[in-house]
Structure formats: C-alpha cells, structure tokens
A and B are shown apart, each in its own frame.
Chain A
Amino acid sequence: MILDGVTLALVQNRLDNISQQMGWVMTRTARSPIFSHAHDFSCFIADARGEIVSQADGIPIHTGGGGFAVRALLEAFRGDIAEGDAFVLNDPYVGGGNHLPDWVIARPVFVDGEIVAFTCNRAHQSDIGGGAAGTYNPEAFEIFQEGIRLPPLRLVARGTTREDLWQLLLVNTRTPHFLDGDLRAMLGSTRIGAEQIGRLCGQLGRDTALAYFAGILDHADRRFQEALRGLPSGIYRGEAWFDNDCFTAMDIPILVALSVSADHLTVDFTGTAPQIRGFKNSSLANTYSSVYTALSSFFDPSIPRNSGTFRNVTIVAPEGSLVNPRPPAPMTMCTVFPACQIIDAIWQALGQADPERSCAGWGNSSFPICSGVKTSGETFVMYHWAGASGGGAVRGRDGFPQQGGVNTLCGLVIPNIEAFEQLYPVRIARQELRCDGGGPGMYRGGTGVSYEVDVHRPVQFSFRGEGSSKFPARGVAGGGCGATGEITIRTSDGDLFVAPPYGIRHVSPPRLTMVSSGGGGWGNPLERDPALVVRDVRDGVVSADAARDTYGVVLQRDGWRVDLPATEARRRTLRGGHVCPDPSAVGESQS
C-alpha cells in the first residue's frame, strides 16, 4: 500500500492525541496525588507486536520501555487473548516491567476479531508492600524486599474483573484505597484509548490503519537516521560513576561505547560494573528507556519517540551487569539512579561526536524522606524536593539553577515552601542559590541551592540519592565541573552527622542542611561574555575570585563594571598557562 504524507500526519497526530486523552482521563480520575500532582505515569499505544506507535503523554524516563511489557504479556498469553481482556504486570524480570512500583495496565484492541493495538498505562503506585512504606526501600538487597511481584496477569477477562485477583492486589498494599481507585482510573483510561483506536480503524479501514501504524514507525526510523547521518562515523565513549552500592563506599562504573555508522547506532555497555547489592540496578526495560531518553533529548525534539525511532539502535547490555541484572537483584531506584548516570554517559559520548550539541552533566540530587507522626497523631511522609540540584549547561543557555532530575528533564515540579509548611511539621529557613556551585563555562552550570529546614518532630530519615556523590556533574567542550553537595543533620539532642547516601536513621527533631550539587558548564569559561560574568558576581552566584581566576574577568573598583584592558590581559595569561583545570583531567583523576 502506498502511504501519503498527509494521512500519515493525520494518523500520527490522532494517535498522539489519543494517548494524551488517556492521560487527561487518568489525571482527572486517579486518586493518589502522585498522578494529579507529579504526573508520574505514561500512557502509550503499542501495535499488535508490542511496538510502541505513540507515547505523547508521560515522563521522559518512561520513553519506549513499555514495549517490553506488551511483548512479555504476548509471550505469556499468546493465542489466549480475548476481546474485553485487560492485563496488569510490574515485574522487571518476567513481566517486562521497569521497576516494581510502576504497574502497567495493557488492554488489547480488537477490530474484526483481530488484535490491532494495545492501549497501555504505566503508573507509579503509592504503595506496593515490601520492606518500606512508599515503594522505596533503601536497605533492600533482594527484589523480594521491594514489594509484590506481578508477572503478566489477566486482571479483566472478557469484560469481567477477576475479583479474587483484585483482592490479592489490595491486601498487598499499605494504601488499598489509593490502589483501588488508581487501578480503576488506569483501566478507564485504557478503555477510552481503546474505543478511540477502534473508531480510527473504523474510519480508515483496518488494513489501511495497520499500514499507517507501520508507516509511522518507518517514518520515525527515517527521521532518526537523518539525525544520525549528522554524526561522523566512529566509536565514542562515555562513563558515569557511583561512589557507593547503597551500603558501602566503592567506585562503580557505567561504561558505554557508541558505534556510529551512517544508518546504525550500537550502544554497548560492556565493561559496566556487575550488578550491585543495593537497589540501584537497572532493569533491561529501564536501561532501554534511559538510552532512548538520552538519544531523544540530544537530537531535534520534533523527531517522534516511538519504537520505529530506535529500530536501528542496537543496545548491548551484558547479563549480570548493573544495567541488566539477574534475579533477585533489587532495582527500585533505577528510574532515577542509574537512569541519570546512563543518560549522562550517553550524552558524554554523543558530545564527542557533536561538540556543538553536547550537554554538560546535570547535578545529581538526593531526595531524603522524613516520616513521623504529627502532634495530632496523623502520620506524615515528606520528600525534601526543595534541596534538588542544578542543571547542566548547553550551548546557548546556562544550566537551570534547580531542577528535578535529568531523568524527567524538569518534568518534576518542586513544591512551594509554603505548601511544605502547611502539610508537614516543619519550618524552612532557606532555599537559596549557591555561590560558585555551577560549573564554569562559556555557558555556566546551574548553581544548585542551600536548603535548611527545621523538622519539629522526631522522624525516621530514609536517605536515597547521589546528591553528595564525590563525582561532580561533568563539564563539556572546555567547561568545568559543577560543585559537589553535602547533607548534614543536627538533632535536637545535639548530634551532628553527615548523612549517608542511602539508609535509614531515627533521630530526634532535626535541622537538615543540604547543599545540592551544581550542574556542569559548557565551553571555555574564558569565552564567557564578561558582562554575564559581572552579572553573576553582582548576583552573588560567582565570586570575584572565580571571576578573576576561572573566567579571567577583572572588575573595576566599583565592582559592577568590567575592566576591559585588564580582562583581556588576564585572559591572555590564563590561556597561556594552566590556571583553569582541564575538566577532562578532573574526570579522569576521579575515575
């Protein structure tokens, strides 16, 4: 069948709209605030073989990974899927899940007795049992401690919900009222999507519709190859590091080699560390999603993000490694860490192929959780999002001063301080940009912040994050690294300690002080517009010392104007000497 470019656009646009509509229905009907507020879910449409044809709604780190889920259920139920069925799964080892908290509802769409598509919703549940409330157990060393595991299960059979299975799911959560409502919302959104796909196939005719679904994948493949042709052929390497396995300090590498040819890209993780004890292993689905997020965010954002886009991308993830572990390795943290590390390593490799488009590393965050009981007797769980880190620079803009993580590309919105103070027994003292936190560069890294909070009740701290890692955010194209961060706690008993990256502590009412890490810089700081350096000094985000020693900018006596002749002389000296440390050397010394 010959496809025309007008219908192709109409069908793609319609499918994208259907996946967005599924998202609107989900936001409107779900119960737990994680969906309405943080949008921690993704709606997508897969074809009959489990290839994703549209994922217009959702967070970046869910990109493309859903295909694993559909293919797993096809494998499990091949030949035994009926109209009116709907499936649920979460297990990363046998169900194509990315991590246990993200449950997938997948619903087959039948037209004339044949499956034409699956409408799916992947959503982070509020609680799924396991060793800690709220789905994250930083002390897990086996997946069994992380919650209930679901292989592909038929949740709805020919339109009838399996009540016994439903009850099994509800007794395995600490928040059954949320799960009950949220599962219904997920089922509802996939039903709306399925109806719309049915209608689309009715309008076009089934065979024509299927031909256009295939055409959409082919088109994305062509778009991506077009982008790939812009890179010189060769092998490019990137790396990112953990400095702990959640229990013990140790250096753990994630290595990637990108082989670029005119029409193909291989992403090879050979050399990456073996799977680790803690829950920072990455499921295969999450590894693929992380690679897809890195690639999509590097190239033109108008390139579609479906399975066709990555048809000519081969991913090699050695079994038993941190990016493709064997059971029963735990992995709940993977959608954040190592997702951020995988994205960063691939950005680093791509940046060598195309330095103009290279992206500096984003600061990693820690999001410690405080839980306790208010004086009213009500329990509370508070995530300290307001201590998030700074973003990395690209050519054309400085890094974002504070952001919710490169895995969401700013999809995570930080709540207001006033909202925290209303919801929790805390008074926040500070959330301010750091001085010299951002990696120097022609475009400067984001500064990160200083965050201080008094918690008025005894609490359990659950630490989780890379915000105090010794590995800083990477600078690129001659830019410098961001500053590293630190978390300290002073309790009302007078104890003062540096928080561990992962683990659980019980403390009397504490003051938490976080200094978040800064993002990396892009380009040589000696080429930053001196006016911008002056602005940064006036703003107190770059010190006068750093202006002189790193940026080579000398201020006039009033401190608010550039001394141009002195600056030119200073920059000449610095270019000749080695006052500005070579950032790549910094990276090596730390690896």
Chain B
Amino acid sequence: MTMATGPASWRVGVDVGGTFTDLVVASDELGVRVFKVPSVPADPAAGVLAALERAASGLGMVLEEFLRSCALLVHGSTVATNTVLELKGARVGLLTTAGFRDSLEIRRGRRSNPWHHREPSPLPLVPRYLRQPVRGRIDREGNEVEPLHAADVESAARLFTEEGVNSVAICFMNSYLEGAHERAAAAALGKHWTGRWISVSSDIAPLMGEYERTSTTVVNAYVAPGTVGYLQTLDRRLRDLGFAHSILLIQNNGGAVSVEQVADRPVTLLLSGPAAGVGALEYYRRAIGSGDLISMEIGGTSCDVIVMSDGTVPVTDDLTIGDHHLSIPSVEVHTVGAGGGTLAGVDGAGMLFVGPRGAGARPGPAAYGLGGREPTVTDAQLVLGRLRPGPYADGSVSLDPDLAAEAITKSVAEPLGVDLDAAAAGIVRLLEQHLLHAVQRLSIERGLDPRRFVLVAAGGAGPMHGAAIGRLLGCRRVYVPRVAGAFCALGMLHSNVRHDYVQTWAGHLEAASVEHLDVAYLGLEERARRALAAAGFAPGARLEREVDLRYLGQQWDVRVRLDGPSKPDPERMRAVFELEYDRLFGHHQPGGIVEITKLRVVGIGTLPALRPRDAMRAAAPAQPIERRSVYLDAARGRVLLGVYRGGDLRPGHRLSGPLLVEEDTTTMLVGAVDVLEVDDASNFVIELLAEA
C-alpha cells in the first residue's frame, strides 16, 4: 500500500452512526467535502456503498472511478458495538480453569450505580452450562503446577458441537504470565470442534485480572463472526469495484488497522467511532497551534469528551461497553447522556431536570412532529430562536416551533410558573451545567487545569454550546471545525496506523536486568514492526517504549514513556516515573521501592499530513442572511441577532458577537462579548473576552 496522496487521489472517511452515515472526502486539491446519508442498520455495507455513491456523484464521477483514485478509505463502524448493545452476537462457548467458571457472571460484584440496585446486571454473554471447566493450573509465577487435561477440552468440544456454538473463548488462570495451556487447549479444541472462531485471552488481553480478561475474550468471541464477516465482505465488494487497497478501521486506541490485522481481535473496534476524535484533534492541533485541547462532541443523545494534553491523548486499559468491563488499550473518552435529544421536565417537588433520558431518533424532539410530547434541548433551542424552523438534513427532519413551544409550556413553564423563554433558557443552562461537569471530571481527575486548554466544540449540537461551556471552564478560545457535524469521519483521515503490544512483568525496578528488559522490548518491537510492515509502513514506522510502574503495594500503575530504542535504563525510568507521579499526585516518595508491572511497545505508522490549499480569503465584509429575534441570556433577554451562512464566512473574516452561523452540519452561537474569526484553515475560532 502506498501512503502518498497524489494529485488525483483522496482520502475517504466513513463513519456509520445509528441514524446517519457521515462521509468525508479530503485531498490537497479538493479540501474537505462532507456527505451525509441515512444509515441502513439492517445492512451496514449497503449504507457505506450508498454514501460512497453519493460522494462519487457529488464529485461528478461514477463509483468505480472514484474508488480507483482513492488512496485511503478509513471506516469507523458501530457494527461491533451494536452487536454487544443489541445482544446479536455469536453463540459462544468458554473454556475456563476448573473452579473459576463463574468469574464472568460474578463480575467482581461490580455495579455502575449502587443506588440503582433494582436494575438487573446484564446476563453473561455465555450461559454457565457453556462455560466449561478445564483442569490444569499455572501458578503466580507462570509455572505449571498441574498439567492441562486435554480430555476436558475434548468433552467441552463435543458439547459445543452439540449446542451449535460457533465461537469459543479461552481464558485460564494466570495465562497473562504463561499462555501455554491456552495455546494447547486451542489446538486440542481445533481437533474436536469444527468452528472457525477461537479467541485466546493471552493473545488478546495479556493483563492481570481474570474477570476483565475473560470478559474481553468473550466479547471478542461474541462479536467476531458478525463483525469480521461484515468487514471482509465490505472489503471484497470494494476491491471488486476497483478500490486497490484494504479498508482501514479505527481501533479503541485511536489508531487505524487493516481488516486482515483486526480479524483475530475485533474487540479492538468497540470504541471505533469516538476514538476517531483523536485523529481529528491531531489534525486540528496544527491549525490551532496548541497540543492542549479538550473536545466535546455532542450529538443527539450523548456527549463524548476527549482531553489531549501536550499533544497526547491518554490510552488506558479499561473500557466499559454495555456494562461489560474490558481490558483493552482504549482512548480515554468520557461519555455523558447529554445531547440535543435529551429530555427535560419538572419533578413532583418543583425542580427542573434535564436527562438522563433521551428521546432517541424516534420520536425525537417534540418539534419533529413524530409523536414526541416531552420537550428536549433541541425544542428549547428552537423556542429561543437559536435554531431555524423548517427542514434539516435534506428534509429528512423538519422542526416545528409551535410543537416545541407547546411541549415546553406544558412540561416546564407551567409547572415552574415561568414564561416560555425562561423555561427554555433554563433547560439549556442545566444541560450546559451537565456538559461542564463532564469536561471537568476528565480534566480534574487527571490533575489538569482546563483554563489553559482550547475547547473544540464538535458534533451537530456542540457549536451551539461551545462558547458558553468555554466561558464556564475559563478557556480563552473555542475552536469550531467547519465540518463539526462530521468530526469523527474527518478524524479517521488523520488517524495514524497504530498497534499496541503489552507484556506483563513482575519485579522491582532496581533488580531488573537491563539485558532482560531489552530482550523483552525487542520482542514486542519485532511484533509491532511486522504488523506495520504488513500495513505498508516498512520503514517510516515509529516505535515507542513505555513502562507501567508503581510504588510497592500501590494499586494504581503510572505509565511513562521512555526515550527512543536505547537500552532501558532503570535510573532514568525512575526519574521519569517520579516526575509523572508528582504531576498526578502532587508528591512522590524519594527512595521508595518501585515495581515494574508491564512493558509496552506502541508501533505507529504515520500518515503524511494533508496540506489543503489555502481557502479563498475574505474579499468583502460578511453580511448576515437574516436578522432574527434570539434569546441570548438572562441579562440580555431577546436580541435581534445577525444570522450568517457559514459558506459566506472566509479566512480573514472577524465578527463581533452576538451572532449565529448556520453551517451544513451544525449551527453555532457566538455570545454577546465573543469575537468570531475564521482562521487560515477556514475553521472558526471564538475568542472569549472578559465581560465588561
């Protein structure tokens, strides 16, 4: 595969969401173009092909021609995620160490909210009778203390065949230290069971903690047949149509990977959509000129927050999907149920609430006229004049302000005894408080001061709240991408290819032999190098060594990055660790015993950056397309606001708020004392000035 983007070639990002499929085409020549088509949940591949056809015809081409000159096609797909959320996965069998077949069901006794104890925990993805015990034991040091009983595997294989199991997960005790029993069991299983899908925990998630490792392996087995099948079919169809490469997928770690390389671990695709936000931040940080960014991507039902500090987005080993706990390297994304479709009302004792319930795509906001009677945030924005009434997204929905006003009057204004504007403004303020707290959580928990960050407001609904949240956070600038509504699809075009490899290590830092550490790192690097070479990054790959360290007896690891491929130097490791510990916890323990827990290698194949030609600069002052009565805030009330068409705003334009900008995929509100500027990359910068 060649990564160069020639003059007649472009990159395509396709993000399949629940309602819409977003497609972004970008090239140096063309700049960035966005296309949106309805998703086809029953046949996601058809939705992708429809989006590609639409883009091709938008560029005046037939599909084959378009695909032939496509250098890179990156796909973010919710197929794996939906398989888990909708419980539509494979019939899975599990081989476990005898005595421990129930860790998947016990779930370590974890509940997401103790006060909601009446809600059932999710049923285990493998029922107990298909969780088959196998005798054999590896001890805490990775030594065999009881040999594997192959006969147990055999009888389980017979049961799996009888029961129509089509995917098997294998997770044995302490296999993160020594995977020999798991490999032997996989081999024995292959002789007696004819299925194709075997997921082995020591390959997929070689980390301590049998519950999370089992859960990860089981989810992998659960999504594998459907997800991999879908991706292989799509890959083949596109090749038949003339696309010369493999499609790339976005993984939980924010990096891209080919279909072939993800086929044995589709569990790494569960966060595929939101994780692409990292690529978008990578892209915009150049234009913004800062590596300290907080993105807030708000859609209809939820808001995803990502914090990039000093150019790096933290990757953790924890991921929770549909209340399943997984250990798999994943970008840290904090999601809250707050978006345009979030429902509002008044409780029985006279207090306003917003969320956590949402109206979904159907019936959606009351203003859609599809039967929704409860008011949503979108209804409030419409009533306040911030959203234009009428059709959106090529007429697939239409907003009726009378229906919105009726719902807010009945459910909020009357019970609170306030007027319609006050009720609608209250809904927006309370939602914005929830959003603020979501951002604060991620930043404060990591010991970061949000005031030095630039807030990136994205998603269809993000730019409406960006300036307000930025002000509450104390940020000085808010950045609004012109294609805010296709943030993740754009991010996919800028996601580097990435592979994470990890090896558990037990021992004190002081006692570690430099040679042994180096041998282990070299082994991990070899795997990373091979994977990157297979993806077309023979030279030009970047390998990073990381190590997880902690003080003796501490429960939390601190991950630090080591410099270059030089031999690992324990003294240097300690120094870097203490520095990071200080930053996170405000102190460190001079002379404290430090343990190594994991060695990691991150392999990155860097895509060349797109350098879009400069957009046409502003030639004349921008004129509003209309002046509309808009409720601004409590102090100012309703104001006649200029409404601008996004396309009329060019690099060089600088306008004082308050004003509204309508773009294809979003609407942006600029506050009373804010200043809007269009930067050289043709995106929007809102400067938040101090209130007079």
Contacts and interface: CB of A to CB of B under 8 A. Distances in A.
A13 B430 contact: yes
Given A8-B351, A223-B349, A429-B99, A402 B106 contact: yes
Given A21-B444, A397-B118, A417-B100, A5 B416 contact: yes
A549 B400 CA distance: 61
A419 B209 contact: yes
B598 interface: no
Contacts, number: 185
Interface in A288-311: 296-297, 301-302
B210 A418 contact: yes
B115 A4 contact: no
A99 to B, nearest CB: 20
A50 interface: no
Interface string B92-111: 00000001111101101111
B59 to A, nearest CB: 48
B554 interface: yes
Contacts of A421: 139-140, 174
Interface string B338-373: 000000001111111110000000000000000000
B553 interface: yes
Interface stretch (B45-53, B256-264, B433-441): B433-441
B174 A29 contact: no
Given A297-B115, A410-B117, A419-B208, A401 B106 contact: yes
Nearest to B163: A560
B210 A539 contact: no
B102 A431 contact: yes
Interface stretch (B120-128, B459-467, B511-519, B530-538): B120-128
Contacts of B139: 421, 427
B555 interface: yes
A5 B415 CA distance: 9
Nearest to A226: B348
Interface range, A side = 35 or more
A422 interface: yes
A413 interface: yes
A24 B445 contact: yes
Contact of A9 (B176, B351, B586): B351
B418 A33 contact: no
Nearest to B101: A432
Interface in A1-41: 4-6, 8-10, 12-14, 17, 20-21, 24-25, 27-29, 33, 36-37
Nearest to B586: A29
A202 B293 CA distance: 29
A431 B106 contact: yes
A14 B433 contact: yes
B96 to A, nearest CB: 10
Contacts of B121: 397, 400
B676 to A, nearest CB: 27
Contact of A401 (B105, B349, B416, B423): B105
A473 B176 CA distance: 38
A134 interface: no
A159 interface: no
Contact of B445 (A28, A33, A428, A452): A28
B349 A219 contact: yes
A213 to B, nearest CB: 14
A304 to B, nearest CB: 9
B380 to A, nearest CB: 12
Interface in A404-459: 404, 408-419, 421-422, 427-433, 449, 452
B184 interface: no
A580 B172 CA distance: 40
Given A394-B118, A417-B103, A403 B109 contact: yes
A222 interface: yes
B506 interface: yes
B422 interface: yes
Of A14, A388, A421, most B-chain CB atoms within 10 Å: A421
A415 B120 CA distance: 21
B430 A418 contact: no
Contacts of B353: 9
Given A222-B349, A535-B127, A541-B128, A422 B102 contact: no
Nearest to A421: B140
B140 A301 contact: no
Contacts of A226: 348-349
B109 A301 contact: no
Nearest to A412: B109
Interface in A481-529: none
B584 to A, nearest CB: 7
Interface string B41-83: 0000000000000000000000000000000000000000000
Contacts of A36: 555-556
A9 B103 CA distance: 41
Contacts of B350: 5, 8, 219, 222
Interface string A56-98: 0001100000000000000000000000000000000000000
Contacts of A433: 102, 105-106, 128
Contact of B114 (A60, A388, A428): A60
Given A13-B430, A14-B433, A33-B554, 6 more contacts: A5-B352, A5-B415, A6-B418, A226-B348, A301-B113, A422-B140
Interface of A: 4-6, 8-10, 12-14, 17, 20-21, 24-25, 27-29, 33, 36-37, 59-60, 181, 219-220, 222-223, 226, 296-297, 301-302, 388, 394, 396-398, 400-404, 408-419, 421-422, 427-433, 449, 452, 535, 538-541
Interface of B: 99-103, 105-106, 108-111, 113-121, 127-129, 137, 139-140, 145, 173-174, 176, 208-212, 346-354, 415-416, 418, 422-423, 425-426, 429-430, 433-434, 437, 440-441, 444-445, 447, 506, 553-556, 584-587
9 contacts: A6-B416, A13-B437, A29-B586, A411-B111, A416-B212, A418-B176, A418-B210, A431-B102, A449-B102
